[in-house]
Structure 1
């Protein structure tokens, strides 16, 4: 087992009263809670070794390129690879039910193997999120990376949210339609990171 934090086992902290909400433009917002999942070395080890990661290739410009990260998507009827992730999803669903109106249902996962892996600027606008407010909750495990956000309309400073081992960030309101987010490459020596993205049904 990896020993990133020197901790014994996973524990999920309460959400009420601990989240910090950042109000953005155009009705978008971001909630942040560092260290939401403590003792998460066991989760990280499970994600690295037991998830059936796959490499993808996608058309880009005049060719087909490798996606610079490994991927796995869990549908609403699939069992998640660690029971703490199921608990995390259920707690998020309970906390945000009044705002979201429905539970988080799916879990997309990305494995960033080192600083060369990344995700380009984008919004999660496949499905209902292209036309309606929704939420995407991301829990990070492993080496810290920066999640960057910028408004699609331009004209504002790019925001940086460091995402470390067990940290939570929730993008809500119009964030997927009016803002973009990215995990940029880095030349710094960094180890692997896994991003777990909880979404409602028909949001991708």
Structure 2
């Protein structure tokens, strides 16, 4: 299960398989309101297709089942989680996490520690509306940085309690950072789609105690 495409050439932190982490300096912020914001940077990772292929093959993906009202259902995506003591499944992810920690060190006040991965196998896989409010994100401002790999999918954001939905298409190598009160005052989702789409991997970098 691989995505075919040309390998982009990067200039910073060249790594195995042609993967490279580009500078974060051109990242653009969008204020959402209610103390929430997002930063978006297209094409942050060069050689994103190589990284995608590596993660598809090497990550120990697992399926989960969860209680949903009166029945247990399959989670519509595959998952893997790397805690702060676990080496990431590709060296570029460690470089990316360190770059995020340096860029946001004054604003966040702590480094990014963990890497959660989701594999969306096709348009039937999704994640429902939610905020990352397990742990400190329920009561504190924090950040969640998402690296998108593979086929492009839309990330939707909306204020908690309802409001206008914002749609951000995330393609291979794109980065979105949700910060401020975003996890408490906004929700995000990856909706199902009937369009023919290939597999996508989402890599979520978080500080300690945020899930």
Q: What TM-score do you get using the length of structure 2 for normalisation? A: 0.93
Cα deviation, 1:82-123, whole Å, max 9, x if unaligned, reads 111110000000000000000000001000000000000000
Q: Shift of residue 157 of structure 1?
A: 1.2
Q: Distance in 2 between matches of 1:2 and 1:170?
A: 24
Provide the residue aligned with 1:43 in structure 2. 51
Provide the residue aligned with 2:210 in structure 1. 203
Q: Distance in 2 between matches of 1:93 and 1:136?
A: 11
Provide the residue aligned with 1:132 in structure 2. 140
Cα deviation, 1:9-49, whole Å, max 9, x if unaligned, reads 11211112x11101011100000000000112221111100
Q: Shift of residue 192 of structure 1?
A: 0.5
Which residues of structure 1 form unaligned runs of 5+? none
Aligned residues: 202
Provide the residue aligned with 2:97 in structure 1. 89
Q: Shift of residue 6 of structure 1?
A: 4.0
Select the residue among 89, 95, 113 that pairs with 1:105: 113
Q: Distance in 1 between matches of 2:5 and 2:176?
A: 20
Q: Distance in 2 between matches of 1:74 and 1:200?
A: 12
Select the residue among 190, 196, 201 that pairs with 1:189: 196
Q: Structure 1 residue runs of 4+, over 3 Å off?
A: 5-8
Which residues of structure 2 form unaligned runs of 5+? 10-17
Select the residue among 172, 176, 183 that pairs with 1:176: 183
Residues 107-122 of structure 1 correspond to what in structure 2 (within 5 A)?
107-122=115-130
Alpha carbons 1:4, 1:142 under 8 Å: kept: no
Alpha carbons of 1:42 and 1:178: their partners in 2 closer, same or farther (altered >3 Å)? same
Residue 84 of structure 1 aligns to a residue whose secondary structure is helix
Cα deviation, 1:49-84, whole Å, max 9, x if unaligned, reads 000000000000110000000000100010101111
Q: Distance in 2 between matches of 1:7 and 1:101?
A: 33
Q: Distance in 2 between matches of 1:5 and 1:129?
A: 38
Q: Distance in 2 between matches of 1:82 and 1:43?
A: 8
Select the residue among 2, 6, 10 that pairs with 2:19: 10
Corresponding position: 1:158 with 2:159: no
